[in-house]
Structure 1
Amino acid sequence: MDLKTKGLLKVAFFILLLGFAGTTVDARFDPSSLITQFLSKEDVNLYVKSTEKACCDTCLCTKSIPPQCRCNDVGETCHSACKSCVCTKSIPPQCRCEDITDFCYKPCHSEEPKLAGNSQT
């Protein structure tokens, strides 16, 4: 083999390795790495939900003392204080916080949180 052929083989082998490495790397975009996420409200207004503040719009609590509460919000990420975030592998992911607390976080929006057992609608 002459020098030119050896050089071409090295380049071809390098490109082959790059192609293999590109197929084994998980190149999905992770939205939880963003400092903020943009959420639409009724497809009209946009507001920003900060990942620094824990909040929950749909909080379900038992009537026991102390209550056992869980945030039932579903989104692309969990709130910032969540210790057990479970996400689907779909794109975009649907995540829900599985933490049980004895309180509800403040709502993410201006509405009151929805509590289980409340007859108010």
Structure 2
Amino acid sequence: MDTSSQPPHQVYLNGDQIYTCSGCHAHLARNEDIISKGFQGRHGRAYLFKNVQNITLGPKEDRILMTGLHSVADISCTICQSVVGWIYIYAFEESQKYKEGKYIVEKAKISKENLWIQKE
């Protein structure tokens, strides 16, 4: 069976506050999966997420980031292949270990979808 012509499998997230790929609007993450909004990406502000969907991983590489040396892999949207951030695979400094297995998603690469009602 030739699978090259089939569209990639896509996960649809439930919830009122969903972040999507700004390029193709594939669901990427839920607002409640944000750990922090105080991160810096290549293109400005970025969010640290505990879960992200509809992504593929690029090759692992060591990068010196603002908080030290980390092993990371870029993450791309499964649908349009746009790089939206990276995953922390390994943190060399003990104080940064909490990032391992977590995702950085750049604010410039995502859009808000569904009912973003301000919660009081």
Quick check: which one's strand share is greater? 2
Higher relative contact order by CA 8 Å / sep ≥ 6: 1 or 2?
2
Q: Report the structure number with the largest CA radius of gyration.
A: 1
Q: What is the TM-score of this pair, normalised by structure 1?
A: 0.29
Q: What is the TM-score of this pair, normalised by structure 2?
A: 0.30
